Structure 1
Amino acid sequence: MQPFSLLFAVLASLYAGVYGFDITRNDNLAVYWGQDSAGNQQSLSSYCEDDTIDNIVMAFLYVFFGPANTLSQPEIDFANTCNQFDFSTFPGTDLADCSFMASQIEACQAKGKIVTLSLGGATGQVGFSDASAAESLAKRVWNEFLGGSSSTRPFGSAVLDGLDLDIESGSSAHYDTFVNTIRSLSAGASKRYYITAAPQCPFPDEWIQPALDASLFDAVFVQFYNNFCELSEPNNYNFDTWASWAKSGSDNKDIKIFIGAPASSKAAGTGYVGPNTLGNFATAAQDSSSSMGGVMLWDVSEAVANGNYHQKIKSILTANGDGPKKPSNTTIAATATKPSATAVKTKSASAHKATSTESTSSDKTASKAESKDDKAATRVNSRFFRANN
């Protein structure tokens, strides 16, 4: 290795150790990427230039067992960046070949961020017929996205840092088998693999709760939106319920609870609050619970379009948090040119978008911009969202 390359590697490692993702902290910021929610999604690597982001969750692997192919391969869709419709697929499958993203993923990891893959989504074709099917998918996901080996690795040589389960349909059965199999496969690995879940805020969650109670998860990104317990309904907001479960019901007593929030009023049907209001919820959780892990935002494209909302949240988190203070941020332009690839077809996991009008004049205006009747009318089945919430 050349001296300059060695120096760069050492500096990158030191930076990652000081400013990177740390599951023990309470000021982490996780953002979802991949569904082009705001219509101007940039490359993965462009968001990794922003030092305020700690965890990028790629959305989605939205079909567990592809019915259109003979190899039962899963299907992934990252909107305008990579999908099975506009990009090449592995022969005999509908699994997109996104190997050009390997260098982007590795660049993010070099900055201390973790890059994980979310399975499911609001329109995901998910679920297991039996425990054997769950074990089979776990082994396939391990070999194709994590620390295993396969001739069909969508991200080539890049090794993701873990998985996220955003399960919003189907049966709740056998997800514990899936998680336990991943844990078994990763035992003794040279790197840590993280497993998170994104339940709806009503407790217990309808789809993933049995697995949450029976398997080892590192963090839970609770969706405090599109539900009666959302952030904009403070009397029903139930972070404390989830924090109590973390200590008394979770198999991992060190599990972290993230406050999941929309990054703009356009990112969800209901539940958006301004940065100061969300910051107040976050600092209260930091002060009251050792289970607080940080904030999750859907999604990063919406955050950038909404005046770099995520940076405002991270600033509040770090000011009150227990982690090291970061250097000044890199601002991402919301009006940057879109990648040239064609947007996904309606089969995409993000076929529908919320239509509410965003208000940015103040937290008070944002939280009261719509009546309850208006909110109900704008609920959509988009990404995390259920139409009947």
Structure 2
Amino acid sequence: MVASKGSLLAASVFMSLLGVKAFDMSRTDNTVAYWGQNSYGAANGQDTANFQKNLAEYCDDDSIDTFAISFLTVFFGPGGLPQLDLANVCSAVTQKPFGDSQLPDCSFLAEDIKTCQAKGKTVLLSMGGATGGSTFTSADQATGFADQIWDLFLGGSSETRPFGDAVLDGVDLDIEGGGTPLFANFVTQLRTHFSGKKYYVTAAPQCVFPDANLGETLNNAEFDAVYVQFYNNYCGLQNYDNTNAWNFGQWDDWAKNTSPNKDVKIYIGAPASTTAAGSGYVDPGQLATIAKATASQYSSFGGVMYWDASQARANNRFDKAIKDGIRSGAPSAPSDPAPSDPAPSDPAPPSDPAPPSDPAPPTDPAPGPEEPCDPAPTPAPEPQPQPQPDPSTEEPCDPAPAPPSGGSCGSAAAWDAAATYTGGQTASYNGHVYTAGWWTQNETPGTSEVWKDGGACSAKRELTGPHRSITRRAFGRPAGRPSNKPSILRRRGAPSASGSNADFVKRRTN
């Protein structure tokens, strides 16, 4: 089930005969979309006609250059294999897992992946998401996992191939918890395998510099592109005109002076609609203006990334509008750019969060021997409308542990530094109720602009706190049969659509 070097060469020749342009990372008008979580369906549960489409449908035109399939959520799962959760497109609930693992057989996606690649698109595997099941505890564990990812998803050899004979074009690190410098060991080892075709390694840090989870890794391993999330933070697109907040120059300076790969490209990451993130959305015309201005000033600029494909398609073809906007007259990178303005002179963010707590080590700390198993390829599920949850049936989350100062009061649970909160959720701290403006973790109410002080606590308890025990991140889902399990993977944005009425759990946004 592994493509040979001969077949890869044949595919390359076939593309050239068809006049298909290969992906060119050096351009300044590339676009990247995350796919797999149906973020639009999560935020607009009744509008089933606009739920996420099958992957191949997004490749019908040239609006999207790169797809990041999201997410590989757990690195070390049962059976010595990782766990892949593509919402109800493909998961261990909707498709048969390999052996005793929770890695689903998503081989029905192979044809879609190859169709997109044949049209000059790159298709990456995005690893991580908003859960803490993606980290390493030793260098050997990190390098061993790189070997395993190569065999399972890229150009290696394994009888266990979640996407059948499709060979992905690389990996994307979207690490939102459990960040460790050992990811540099993972990237470096993975690159030792790259041969036979062009492979890419990308990352998706938050705009706050340096990124809390990937900062050291970015400084010590080679990345081809960095999709900076300019949303859900004070340095987001909503503050583009604020020189004390907007910090693309800081990332450009990193690319030129610190990154091991001096040709690394920096992308502006944006929400694809108002429901895709808590803050940072700008319309495609404004985003195109920002992108072209950035391209003319910073030679590291590579294009625009957005969350996600489903949101973009439903938002009046945001994907097409932004591609057309940055392509028309898209400037080439300046050959001799003026010195970049890396950051505001005193870019102190409004918050001074404590460092994140160390994640618990994975239960199975190293890749075990793979069980040879080759389940029959599963047919592609027909897209179906998803049953929508009744909010009144939602089970309250376990109460968060009390913070050092102040406990639960009035209408909100006590603020918990280890919990994650999304826009609109509340927490109590020092006798006041605070409402989160966007995704946040470990930012103390009263000291960070993400929290709005709603005044003294009242006496009533509401279910607006963080949901802590779920599996994923906010990118949405469908294009397949409904899943029977709650899914909470997402990206600092809108929730992910998932599950039945009985099992529905609100997902946190990314």
State if a TM-score over 0.5 links the two structures: yes
1:319 aligns with 2:328: yes
Q: How does 1:149-160 map to 2 (within 5 A)?
A: 149-160=157-168
Whole-angstrom CA distance in 2 between matches of 1:379 and 1:58: 29
- The 3 A distance-change label for structure 1 pair 240 and 16 is farther
Q: Which has the higher helix share?
A: 1
Whole-angstrom CA distance in 2 between matches of 1:82 and 1:373: 32
* 2:164 counterpart letter in structure 1: G
The answer as to whether partners of 1:304 and 1:310 remain within 8 angstroms in 2 is yes
* 2:137 counterpart letter in structure 1: S
The answer as to whether partners of 1:42 and 1:338 remain within 8 angstroms in 2 is no
1:58 aligns with 2:69: yes
Whole-angstrom CA distance in 2 between matches of 1:82 and 1:344: 19
* 1:33 counterpart letter in structure 2: W
The answer as to whether partners of 2:422 and 2:436 remain within 8 angstroms in 1 is no
* 2:198 counterpart letter in structure 1: R
TM-score, with structure 1 as normaliser: 0.82
- Tell me the C-alpha RMSD between the 2 structures: 3.0
Q: How does 1:289-304 map to 2 (within 5 A)?
A: 289-304=298-313
**Structure-1 residue corresponding to 2:196:** 190
Whole-angstrom CA distance in 2 between matches of 1:117 and 1:16: 26
Of 209, 219, 237, 1:213 maps to 219
1:282 aligns with 2:291: yes
Whole-angstrom CA distance in 1 between matches of 2:277 and 2:388: 20
CA apart distance, 1:86: 1.2
1:272 aligns with 2:272: no
Whole-angstrom CA distance in 2 between matches of 1:164 and 1:174: 15
The answer as to whether partners of 2:422 and 2:509 remain within 8 angstroms in 1 is no
- The 3 A distance-change label for structure 1 pair 307 and 338 is farther
User: Any stretches of 5+ residues in structure 2 without a counterpart?
Assistant: 1-10, 42-50, 333-380, 395-419, 425-434, 439-449, 453-463, 467-472, 475-489, 494-507
1:34 aligns with 2:32: no
The answer as to whether partners of 1:63 and 1:125 remain within 8 angstroms in 2 is yes
- The 3 A distance-change label for structure 1 pair 228 and 43 is same
Deviation digits for residues 197-238 of structure 1, max 9, x if unmatched?
Answer: 000000011011111111110000000000010000121111
**Number of residue pairs aligned between Structure 1 and Structure 2:** 344
**Structure-2 residue corresponding to 1:107:** 115
Q: How does 1:33-182 map to 2 (within 5 A)?
A: 33-39=35-41, 40-66=51-77, 69=78, 71-182=79-190
| Partner SS state of residue 71, structure 2 | strand
Deviation digits for residues 46-90 of structure 1, max 9, x if unmatched?
Answer: 111121110011000011111xx2x22101111121111111110
**Structure-2 residue corresponding to 1:245:** 254
1:199 aligns with 2:208: no
Rg comparison, structure with higher value:
2
Whole-angstrom CA distance in 2 between matches of 1:166 and 1:374: 22
**Structure-2 residue corresponding to 1:13:** 16
The answer as to whether partners of 2:31 and 2:63 remain within 8 angstroms in 1 is yes
**Structure-2 residue corresponding to 1:340:** 384
The answer as to whether partners of 1:79 and 1:344 remain within 8 angstroms in 2 is no
Deviation digits for residues 85-114 of structure 1, max 9, x if unmatched?
Answer: 111110110001001111110010000000
The answer as to whether partners of 2:277 and 2:509 remain within 8 angstroms in 1 is no
Whole-angstrom CA distance in 1 between matches of 2:189 and 2:383: 37
- The 3 A distance-change label for structure 1 pair 26 and 134 is same
User: Any stretches of 5+ residues in structure 1 without a counterpart?
Assistant: 1-7, 324-336, 347-351, 357-371
Whole-angstrom CA distance in 1 between matches of 2:321 and 2:509: 31
Whole-angstrom CA distance in 2 between matches of 1:278 and 1:111: 26
CA apart distance, 1:374: 5.8
Among all aligned residue pairs of Structure 1 and Structure 2, give the percentage whose two residues are the same amino acid: 46
| Partner SS state of residue 302, structure 1 | helix
Whole-angstrom CA distance in 1 between matches of 2:200 and 2:233: 27
Whole-angstrom CA distance in 2 between matches of 1:103 and 1:384: 26
CA apart distance, 1:12: 3.7
Of 256, 270, 273, 2:265 maps to 256
Of 218, 222, 229, 2:228 maps to 222
Whole-angstrom CA distance in 2 between matches of 1:213 and 1:379: 35
Deviation digits for residues 230-289 of structure 1, max 9, x if unmatched?
Answer: 000121111111011100010000000000000001000111111121111100111111
Whole-angstrom CA distance in 1 between matches of 2:246 and 2:85: 32
